């Protein structure tokens, strides 16, 4: 089949790569020159410096005969002549803090597309084509897309909703082995085309292939994300908070008790300083906005959003409240800027809030390290005397060897772990050697196996899911 993808972000690039791997002839259009250049490079590392997704580079290189990235809309128009389906993979961010989705990227792309669709087959519009929405959008979006096409005079088309369920960091492996494919359409002929697109998965015993109407598909995506977000919020705000409040409750032990009940399940039962990323917050806010606009209460949806916000404020506030730290002029090591491990995506990352918080508190220096996300973080916090970027996690927690040393002769005053990169788990032994015993703020429980040793060695430890662990210093 011939498939066009509009938008070459996480969703567009990854699902187009999987389509090419499924044997389809795929064209991906984006307005970002930089993105097209990097994704077209044919070099694995260059591709993954743009979208840090394990396996994306290899998949694009392996299928290079069947996939092309372009900035050139003339190429798109030519491709449309015998194209079978167009996948809309555009951003739908929240407008400020209103909950409302900003649909201008989508509408701009759809209006431009409508004009081009009119011209296909020498303006005869003979070939039937489907417009497939992969972006996460309001429930009634199908109606708006149809209005745009009808208003422009587009004929011989169908509209399908095919929400994307990929998980960043596992986008390729997850898309090659999805749990489910959800297709929402009004007409059987649209379902038939989509079954061809997903032939690889349609009859697979391991993939749930769900056919519903387009509104159900859009609502299903929003509700699934809200449900997962709510599970995280319960873990942070109820389970974690309980473990922080009462002594002798170890989060990992409570986790075991809960997760061994299959009705509860294990997903989302880990404590963290924040649930960031481009989806959960935005989609919960959008669901709430849509419910409230119709006069329906959205108390639980709103409370989930607030619980997540509260979690980060609470975590940062504990430094002053529990460890009596005065942040002014301190040197802070910030480990991790990506919103979670295995991605370079910093959208809604806790580290952005942390960076702003530390700036406001007038710390002297923030030493930063992340294995993948630093280039994007530098766009928010450019390199300066206050924001210093390190070459490794080890350099980050030590005094950077300049003259005079950036972290002060004795090293950093506070270490904040914000992202769950696996290598941060191994830092305990090194930290135990730091002579000035910085305050440890573990926002991911990465050093959980070292907490007792750290406390015994005189380190104060603030960790999500634990009460304040005051360093034992009376042995000196
Ligand atoms: N990232 C995820 O994990 C994920 C998962 C499921 C669903 N989604 C949803 O999918 C949609 C896309 O998300 P994403 O993470 O891929 O976003 P993204 O920001 O990574 O990518 C969007 C791309 O669209 C491009 N673009 C913007 N306007 C354009 C236009 N007029 N024409 C062509 N290209 C244009 C941008 O340059 C960008 O490259 C969103 O609605 C998101 O909520 C995302």
pLDDT band at 399 (very low <50, low <70, confident <90, very high): low
pLDDT of 199 reads: 96
List Cα–Cα distances, 254 to 243, 270, 272, 310, 353, in angstroms. 8, 11, 15, 22, 29
Please give the Cα distance from 383 to 153 (Å, whole number). Answer: 51
**Among 150, 179, 212, residue at a domain's last position:** 212
The candidate with the shortest Cα–Cα distance to 376, out of 276, 232, 268, 272, is 276
pLDDT, tens digit (0-9, with 9 covering 90-100), for 310-367: 999 999 999 999 999 999 999 999 999 999 999 999 999 999 999 999 999 999 999 9
pLDDT exceeds 70 at position 476 = no
65-120 per-position pLDDT tens digit: 999 999 999 999 999 999 999 999 999 999 999 999 999 999 999 999 999 999 99
- Residue listed under structure tokens 């409040």: 245
Q: Are strands 365-369 and 85-88 parallel, antiparallel or unpaired?
A: unpaired
pLDDT for residue 405 is more than 80: no
Residue 309 or 402, more confident: 309
Instruction: Examine the fold and report which residue of 192, 212, 232 is the final residue of a domain before the chain moves on.
Output: 212
- Residue 377 scores a pLDDT above 90: yes
CB 365 within 8 A of CB 77: no
Q: 117 and 227, same structural domain?
A: no
290 plus 416 within the same structural domain: yes
Q: Are residues 188 and 256 both part of a single domain?
A: no
Residues 277 and 365 in one domain: yes
Domain identity same for 334 and 310: yes
Rounded-to-integer distance, Cα 179 and Cα 121, Å: 38
**How many angstroms does the Cα of residue 239 sit away from the middle of ligand 1?**
34
Distance in Å, CA 135 to ligand 1 centroid: 7
Instruction: Say if residue 79 is in the same domain as residue 207.
Output: yes
Query: With a 6 A CB cut-off, is 168 part of the ligand 1 pocket?
Result: yes
Do 237 and 190 lie in one domain? The reply is: no
Distance CA 131, CA 113 (A): 10
Residue 410 has what pLDDT? 60
Instruction: Measure the CA–CA gap between 221 and 139, rounded to whole angstroms.
Output: 9
Q: Give me the helix-helix angle, 299-323 and 280-293, nearest 10°.
A: 140
**CA 298 centroid distance within chain:** 24
Q: Determine the distance separating the centroid of ligand 1 and the alpha carbon of 91, expressed in angstroms.
A: 4
Residue 101 backbone dihedrals phi, psi, to 5 degrees: -80, 135
**Are 277 and 208 within one domain?**
no
Banded model confidence at residue 411, pLDDT cuts 50, 70, 90: confident
Q: Can you tell me the distance from the alpha carbon of 229 to that of 233, in angstroms, rounded to the nearest whole number?
A: 6
Domain of residue 385 covers: 220-476
Count: domains in the chain: 2
Nearest one of 43, 44, 45, 47 to 8, comparing CA atoms: 47
Cβ partners under 8 Å of residue 473, min gap 6? 458
pLDDT score of 473? 81
| DSSP assignment of 314-359 | HHHHHHHHHH----TT-EEEEE--SSSTT----TT-HHHHHHHHHH
- The answer on 465 and 323 residing in a single domain is yes
Is the pLDDT reported for residue 401 higher than 90? no
pLDDT for the residue 398 = 87
Sequence-ordered list of residues with C-beta below 8 angstroms from that of 16, at least 6 positions apart, any chain: 3, 5, 8, 26, 28, 67, 87
The least confident of 356-360, 402-406, 463-467 is: 402-406
**Residues 175, 233 within the same domain:** no
Do residue 162 and residue 252 come from a single domain? no
Q: What is the DSSP letter of 438?
A: P
**Which tens digit of pLDDT belongs to each residue from 256-310?**
999 999 999 999 999 999 999 999 999 999 999 999 999 999 999 999 999 999 9
- Has residue 418 got a pLDDT over 80? yes
Both 118 and 160 in one domain: the answer is: yes
Kindly state the tokens that stand for 240.
């974690």
What ligand 1 atom has the least distance to the C-alpha of 12? 16
**DSSP run (H or E) holding 106:** helix 104-118
Contact (CB, 8 A) for 56 and 171: yes
For residue 223, how far is its CA from the centre of ligand 1 (angstroms)? 19
Q: Please give the sequence-ordered ranges of beta strands (E in DSSP) within 188-255, or none if there are none.
A: 208-212
Look up the CATH number of the domain holding residue 73. 3.40.50.720
* Segment 163-222, tens digit of pLDDT: 999 999 999 999 999 999 999 999 999 999 999 999 999 989 999 999 999 999 999 999
Nearest atom (ligand 1) to Cα of 168: 3
* Residue that is last in its domain, among 182, 212, 242: 212
Average the pLDDT over 411-423 and give the result: 96
Tell me what the mean pLDDT of segment 151-174 comes to.
96
Mutate to test the pocket of ligand 1, among 11, 38, 87, 141 (most ligand atoms within 8 A of CB): 11
Give whole-number Cα distances, 256 to 43, 216, 237, 252, 467, in Å: 43, 35, 18, 6, 19
Look up residue 220 and give its two tokens.
Answer: 């299903």
Using DSSP's 3-state secondary structure scheme, residue 130 falls into strand
Does residue 406 have a pLDDT over 60? Answer: no
Listed in sequence order, the residues at least 6 apart from 391 whose beta carbon sits closer than 8 Å to its beta carbon are: 369
103 lines ligand 1 (CB under 6 A): no
Which band of pLDDT confidence, cut at 50, 70 and 90, is reported for residue 144? very high
| Full 3-state SS string of 393-422 | HHHHHCCCCCCCCCCCCCCCCEEEECCCCH
Does the pLDDT at position 403 exceed 70? Answer: no
pLDDT given for residue 409 in this prediction: 54
Counting from 1 in the atom list of ligand 1, the atom nearest the Cα of 282 is 43
Token pair 């417009």: residue: 131
Average pLDDT, the chain: 95
CB-ligand 1 contact for 311 (6 Å cutoff): no
Biggest alpha carbon–alpha carbon distance for the chain: 87
- Give the dihedral sign, CA 455/458/461/466: positive
């Amino acid at each position: 089949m011939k498939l066009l993808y509009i938008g070459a972000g996480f969703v567009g690039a990854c699902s187009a790569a999987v389509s090419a791997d499924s044997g389809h002839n795929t064209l991906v259009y984006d307005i970002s020159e930089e993105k097209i250049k990097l994704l077209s490079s044919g070099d694995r590392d260059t591709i993954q410096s743009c979208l840090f997704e394990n396996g994306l580079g290899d998949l694009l290189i392996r299928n290079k005969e069947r996939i092309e990235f372009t900035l050139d809309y003339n190429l798109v128009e030519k491709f449309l002549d015998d194209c079978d389906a167009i996948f809309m993979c555009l951003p739908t961010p929240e407008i400020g803090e209103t909950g409302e989705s900003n649909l201008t990227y989508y509408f701009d792309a759809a209006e431009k597309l409508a004009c081009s669709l009119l011209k296909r087959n020498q303006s005869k519009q003979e070939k039937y084509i489907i417009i497939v929405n992969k972006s996460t959008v309001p429930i009634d979006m199908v109606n708006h897309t149809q209005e745009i096409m009808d208003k422009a005079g587009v004929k011989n088309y169908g509209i399908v909703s095919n929400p994307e369920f990929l998980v960043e960091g596992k986008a390729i492996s997850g898309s090659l082995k999805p749990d489910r494919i959800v297709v929402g359409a009004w007409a059987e002929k649209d379902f038939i085309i989509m079954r061809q697109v997903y032939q690889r998965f349609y009859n697979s015993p391991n993939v749930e292939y769900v056919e519903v109407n387009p509104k159900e598909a859009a609502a299903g995506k929003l509700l699934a994300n809200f449900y997962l977000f709510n599970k995280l919020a319960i873990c942070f705000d109820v389970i974690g908070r309980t473990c922080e409040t009462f002594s002798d409750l170890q989060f990992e032990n409570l986790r075991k008790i809960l997760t061994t009940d299959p009705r509860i399940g294990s997903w989302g039962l880990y404590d963290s300083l924040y649930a960031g990323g481009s989806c959960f917050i935005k989609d919960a806010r959008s669901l709430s906005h849509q419910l409230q606009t119709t006069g329906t209460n959205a108390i639980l949806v709103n409370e989930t959003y607030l619980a997540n916000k509260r979690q980060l404020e609470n975590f940062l506030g504990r430094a002053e409240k529990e460890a009596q730290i005065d942040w002014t002029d301190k040197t802070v090591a910030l480990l991790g800027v990506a919103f979670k491990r295995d991605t370079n995506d910093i959208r809604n990352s806790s580290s952005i809030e942390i960076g702003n918080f530390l700036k406001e508190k007038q710390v002297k220096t923030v030493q930063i390290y992340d294995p993948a996300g630093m280039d994007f973080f530098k766009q928010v916090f450019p390199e300066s005397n206050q924001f210093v970027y390190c070459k490794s996690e080890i350099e980050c927690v030590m005094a950077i060897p300049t003259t005079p040393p950036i972290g002060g002769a004795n090293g950093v005053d506070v270490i904040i772990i914000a992202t769950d990169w696996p290598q941060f788990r191994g830092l305990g032994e090194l930290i135990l050697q730091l002579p000035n015993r910085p305050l440890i703020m573990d926002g991911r429980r990465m050093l959980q196996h070292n907490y007792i040793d750290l406390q015994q060695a005189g380190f104060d430890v603030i960790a999500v899911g634990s009460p304040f662990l005051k360093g034992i210093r009376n042995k000196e």
